[in-house]
Amino acid sequence: MTQAIMFQGTASDSGKSWVAAGLCRILHQRGLRVAPFKSQNMALNSFITEHGDEMGRAQVFQAEAAGIKPDPRMNPVLLKPSTDKDSQVIVMGHVLADMDAVSYYQYKPQLRTRVQAVYDSLAAENDVMVLEGAGSPAEINLNDRDIVNMGMARMADAPVVLVADIDKGGVFAAIYGTIKLLPPADQKRIKGIIINKFRGDKRLLESGNKMITDLTGVPVIGVVPMADVDLDEEDSVALTRKSRRVDQSKALDVAVLDLAKISNFTDFHSLEIQPDVSVRYVRFADELGEPDLLIIPGSKNTNEDLQVLKEAQFVPAINRVAQKGRMIVGICGGYQILGQTLNDPTGIESPITQQAGLGLLDTVTTFNQTKTTTQATALHGHDELQGYEIHMGATVLGPNARPFATITTNNGEATDREDGAVSPSGQVWGTYLHGIFDNAEWTRHLLNQLRVAKGLQPLVDTTLSLTAYKEAQYDKLAKVLEDNLDMDLIEQILADSATSKEVSR
């Protein structure tokens, strides 16, 4: 029988994604076939699999930790917010519809059977399933149609471990309140508590841990310290922890605009790990300054983010960067923003049917119903680049722009089409390719260009493989968990989960 364990949180950003990833790595190290699963994810950081399916980044890095390829079955439902009220609903990697919160709430029961079938299919291929919830299971206004927290735990007949974030404060109140707001049957499903993100001497928590165990009947199975582990982040909540200032010890200043609807800021993880690069996320125009590289990232609502940039006086600040001859790069929605005009005649993204772009690239983008989701190989000069595309709309180049690259494969199939655009000076360019900076040698060459432009010598023998870096981080995370959790109890919870399924049969 397939074993299972589910991590739920007292709140969003409690660290359950990382705990799930760490357990995936531990079990993988022990030679088990293990797969992550999150039935419903809400995030703007997504990934495209080798077959063109879109899924949330958290299950991607959990799959990597488990030593397997990402599969849309690991995240069958992905919600990508496009406005404060509406989200694009993606089911098994493909767009189903755009829905407001009420419509989706009413639609959820129709997804239950499909989610159950997808989970059973994936579980049949693995020794252990590591499930993750979303937000908090104590959202009592939503629990009657829940398919991601206790609703999913019941479908999978999975025991639950509650992950609580002590760094937020009020950790024991959060634990007690979460458990006691649940129906008695769901309370019994919780087999352990993990207190996460602790700073200080764990002995100070011992009396509190005993009291919360006495109050809830659930043991504390570990206190995990705030650890220096660097993984991809699931959603924009993590941007609150990102740097806003230049690290003066680094030679290169890279500024990323913190758009209101920023998507796939994981694109810049590869830059953050470079020894000579300071990456900062800019929220206000007067913070922009004169970076060596300015990046306008992807956006789930390009037209609205462009409008916000204009209202926030970013346009003159960006133009000053361009006038200084600094490099400006647009990725996906950022590429569209750099162009002359954005057309949305049927309101695909927003009610804004047309507006002028920043005018730094001679391009025109028109939004349409077709969503491009591909893993791609591209040729940029003599360099072969790997990346993936997630975008609505098509962009046409004018006479004062040349293509950035030629796409040679889409989802493993040969093709021949242009991607992106480059200005006549070469200082401004854009591409639809997410993950472009993950191409280590090409990225180091680009950074050395920036160094030379500042009168600095290029760095040699410093090419960093993001894959190797991530593997080391997964191992590091696994070690943190093994050192701070009662692994014997976790193993018992897993063993009991298989016994429970056998009995229920």
Residues with active-site annotation: 332, 434
Q: Are 331 and 295 in contact (CB under 8 A)?
A: yes
Q: Which of 128, 117, 115 is nearest to 76 (CA)?
A: 115
Q: Which of 197, 61, 225, 218 is nearest to 132 (CA)?
A: 61
Helix (H, G, I), strand (E, B) or coil at 64: helix
Q: Are 274 and 249 in contact (CB under 8 A)?
A: no
Instruction: List the strands of the sheet with 428-431, edge to edge.
Output: 277-282, 252-257, 293-296, 327-331, 428-431, 421-422
Question: How many residues comprise the chain?
Answer: 505
Residue 476 to residue 13: CA distance in whole angstroms: 20
The three-point CA angle 488-492-497 to 5° equals: 150
The single-letter DSSP state of residue 43 is -
Quote the radius of gyration of the chain (alpha carbons, Å). 23
Strand-pair partners of 392: 371
Strand-pair partners of 355: 342
Residue 55 to residue 52: CA distance in whole angstroms: 10
Q: What are the CA-CA distances from residue 22 to residues 58, 178, 220, 341 (Å)?
A: 12, 24, 18, 45
For the record, the structure tokens of 112 come out as 């239950």
How many other C-beta atoms are found inside a 10 Å radius of the C-beta of residue 238? 15
Residue 274 to residue 279: CA distance in whole angstroms: 9
Furthest C-alpha separation in the chain: 73
CA-CA-CA-CA torsion sign (276, 282, 284, 285): positive
**Beta strand residue intervals within 128-219, DSSP E:** 128-132, 160-165, 190-198
Q: What is the DSSP string of 354-401?
A: EEE---SSSEEEEEEEEEEEEEEEEEETTEEEEEEEEEEEEEEE-TT-
Residue 462 to residue 484: CA distance in whole angstroms: 34
For the record, the structure tokens of 496 come out as 């009991």
Residue 129 to residue 504: CA distance in whole angstroms: 18
